[in-house]
Structure 1
Amino acid sequence: MSDVQKMGLLAGWGNFPLAVACALKRQGYAVYCLGIRDHADPALAEICDEFHLVGIAKLGAHLRYFRRRGVRQATMAGKIFKAHMLFAHGGWLRHLPDWRCCRTFYPHFLTRTQDRKDDTLMLTLIDAYAEDGIHFQPPTDFAPELLVKAGPLSGRTPTAAQLKDIHFGWRLAKELGRVDVGQTVVVKGLAAIAVEAIEGTDACILRAGQLCPQGGFTVVKVAKPQQDMRFDVPTIGLRTLQTLVAAGGQVLAVEAGRTIIVDEDEALRFARQHRLTVVAMDVAQWAADQQAA
């Protein structure tokens, strides 16, 4: 297999890693997948050349696995449940971090001289891989078809009131992303109902449903202004829309070209069946709408 390009895949939860693995195989890569234990789908074993489950805090094991297989480029996909990792009983130590993990993340978890924001932790991880000669690339470089295109995705366009809420939520979500807190804001009638933090988008939407039992609210999910496309790219799918319906929401607005949609056909079929408005906007469109308002 020496004449075949090797690609490492660091896989978290959800169908996104499956889609990336399939795209890599279509392009002729030999895919060596490290699945994060309690997160990654075992079905990856049927797609990848190799699939190995590993603990999230076993950084030394991650690096050895890829090095021994001659992997020099990698990509990552899938969600990591950060709240469970950091704040479940026993905290991060219950994952039994190895020496390399302790050494790398010492300032973040032990001395706490560095913060534990998503970007901070992920860039620290990427730098650790780079020290061992393994460089991460954006997963969308290999599966650009997963990025949503601008327009009404579910066939329904927002009403004037919903569009105002989208613009309002967009500004809030961008500011939320700028300080690396979250990507999602839920609004109704130009009032913020819920903002995403460590709990994730689905939990944020469900909380909005509890706070606004009359429903009909708008969810806005955008990329950070400083978004690094190698990790934590905004992602939606069938589960997002199922959560929206369960919570009583009506509109989902995302950022075109910087949001991933998985299981697109199934997700948008569900959206049409439940008369949801799902729209993707780009920055230029948003700016033009703002000027016209």
Structure 2
Amino acid sequence: MARLAVIAGGGALPARIAAAHPDALFVTFDPQAGNLPDGAEVLHASFERAGALFAGLKAAGVTEVVFAGGLTRPKLNPLRFDAKTMALAPAVMAALKAGDDGLLRTVVGAFETEGFAVRGAADLVPDLTAPAGRLAGRAPAKADLADIDRAVTILTTLGPLDIGQGAVVVQGLVMGIETVQGTDAMLDFVAGTRARFRRDGGVLVKAPKPGQDLRVDMPALGPQTVTAAAEAGLNGIAFAAGRVLLLDRDEMIVRAQAAGLFLLGQEV
């Protein structure tokens, strides 16, 4: 019988998966992690002891894993590596010098080589994504649609360079590109842009990079992003239909309606 393990990072996603899969084993790399569900079975792990992690998963009967929430790149101490980590080290070290996509492919490959099936959060909790269509707010104006198209073009062009999953365009002007700091930091930057460099309105577009493995790195939006977009003076948020996680969709809709923002699923 299949058993799921949740490789739990930060944010609300681990709790969403826990609600749908209460028997899952939760793996945390942070002994002080506070986002784990009450009563959940927890396996504490170390990035430097991959062999112990794989053995612990197998001992618990795990056959499937899902990566949920953000994980920061670890600072590794080779003196603490176990034999399995030592064997993986050349590939991991090379991947750490590359972009996130390369690192994630290496990590996924290691789990699959050990016999674990890697699942996507959206496969386990289908209502985490939304189809094409408007979820909240008014219909986008012609200028908004033009800004969405330009943002999509930017993301598609930059995707092969492993840069970002989000962009802000205001009346044709590029106001922000998401980098390692994340979407909310980009929106804070836009909000703080001096008025003489700004025009009214604009959109945030969120979409995966071309070829991105959506099982482990699907872009996500949440209520705080809606609030940050409103504070940045934008007209709305567009996202790739079926390919962006919506964390707490109901609250996102409430905040968007209150702020007068549209939420739009787009075929990207």
Question: Corresponding residue for 2:35?
Answer: 42
Distance 1:108 1:43, change over 3 A: closer
Q: Counterpart amino acid of 2:210?
A: P
Q: Which residue of 2 aligns with 1:76?
A: 67
Range moving further from structure 2, 155-164 or 36-45:
36-45
* Residues 1:131 and 2:82 are matched in the alignment: no
How many matched pairs? 264
Q: Quick one: which of 183, 192, 195 aligns to 1:201?
A: 183
TM-score for the superposition, normalised by structure 2:
0.88
CA–CA distance in 2 between the matches of 1:140 and 1:95? 35
Q: Does the 8 A contact of 1:14 with 1:41 survive in 2?
A: no
Q: How far has the Cα of 1:231 moved from its partner?
A: 1.0
Shift of 1:41: 4.0
Give runs of aligned pairs for residues 1-293 of structure 1, distance below 5 A: 5-25=2-22, 30-37=23-30, 40-46=33-39, 48=40, 50-82=41-73, 85=74, 92-93=75-76, 98-99=81-82, 100-109=84-93, 112=94, 115-211=97-193, 213=195, 214=198, 216-283=201-268
Letter in 2 for 1:31: A
- Aligned partners of 2:263 and 2:80: how far apart in 1? 41
Quick one: percent identity of the two aligned structures?
A: 27
Go from structure 1 to structure 2 and tell me whether the alpha carbon gap of 1:128 and 1:43 turns closer, same or farther (over 3 Å shift).
closer
Alpha-carbon distance, 1:126 to partner: 1.2
Quote how far apart the aligned CAs of 1:146 are: 0.9
Residues 113/37 of structure 1: CA separation in 2 closer, same or farther (3 Å cut): closer
1:164–1:190 contact (8 Å) kept in structure 2: yes
Greater Cα shift, 264-273 or 208-217: 208-217
Distance in 1, Cα, partners of 2:179 & 2:254: 29
CA-based RMSD of the aligned residues comes to 2.5
- Relative to the length of structure 1, the TM-score reads 0.81
Deviations 1:171-203 (A, max 9, x none): 111222233221111111212111112111111
Structure 2: 5+ residue stretches without partners: none
1:35, 1:54 within 8 Å by CA — same for their partners in 2? Answer: yes
Q: Secondary structure at the match of 1:211?
A: coil
Q: Which letter does structure 2 place at the counterpart of 1:218? A: V
